[in-house]
Amino acid sequence: MDKTREISEYLGDVLVSKERIQEMVKDLGRRITEDYKGKKLILIGVLKGGFVFMADLVREIKIPIEMDFIAVSSYGSSTKTSGVVRLIKDIDVPLNDKHVIIVEDIIDSGLTLTYLKEMFSARNPLSLKICTAFDKPDRRKVELTAEYTGITIPDKYVVGYGLDYDGILRNLHDLYELDEKVYK
């Protein structure tokens, strides 16, 4: 794919505005601050998609927290997940004395987070929850709900705010639909 065009040529409509996203992040930050007062909490961001949301979210949490990142890849580069998850980078701290929140950009089929939940559960954290910026419940292949969900969106392929198409378009403030002509 040609990755040198003007950004606007890849984009359809704005699905979620920057202002709405900021509001959502503040709200989740407030809830997490309230729920984890006096508790030892680590936020684990899922790279690469989760890095923008993670960076915003941690600054809306007003208690001391640790943070770390893992990297996963779900084979296949375009608009469909293959369902096979591969761990590329793990965290390097034990979890058995901590409450854990996994921070993701979006839940689609639910396969990535099902895999990660199982992996982290096996390390016996004090508790384990999921926080996602966006959710596409219509596309679920396995039953999975996040305890902290930002914004529920329809079954559309979206880019921006950390979410990519073939590695590009993560660096946008708003969440956009990908223009159909890009992948059709």
Q: Choose which of 42, 158, 172, 182 interacts with ligand IMP (CB under 6 A).
A: 158
Could you say which of 36, 43, 44, 49 contacts ligand IMP (CB under 6 A)? Answer: 49
Percentages (nearest 5) of helix, strand, coil residues in the chain? 25, 30, 40
- Does 13 participate in catalysis according to the annotation? no
Sign, CA torsion 120/122/125/126: positive
| Nearest-approach distance from CB 40 to ligand IMP, in angstroms | 26
Q: What is the Cα–Cα distance from 131 to 24, expressed in whole angstroms?
A: 12
Contacting ligand IMP (CB under 6 A), which of 57, 109, 130, 172? 109
Range list of H helices, the chain: 18-35, 51-58, 111-121, 180-183
Closer residue to ligand IMP in complex, CB, 24/158: 158
| Shortest Å, Cβ 99 to Mg ion | 26
Which one of the listed residues 90, 108, 155, 174 is annotated catalytic? 108
Told to check if 50 binds Mg ion by CB under 5 A, we report no
Q: Which of residues 113-152 bind ligand IMP (CB under 6 A)?
A: none
- The label of the residue with tokens 């409509």 reads 13
The DSSP code sequence of 36-77 is TTTS-EEEEEEETTTHHHHHHHHTT--S-EEEEEEEEE-S-S
Q: Which of ligand IMP, Mg ion, none interacts with 52 (beta carbon under 5 to 8 A by kind)?
A: none
- 3-state SS class at 23: helix
Site residues, ligand IMP (CB under 6 A): 49, 74, 81, 104-112, 157-159, 163-164
Site residues, Mg ion (CB under 5 A): 49
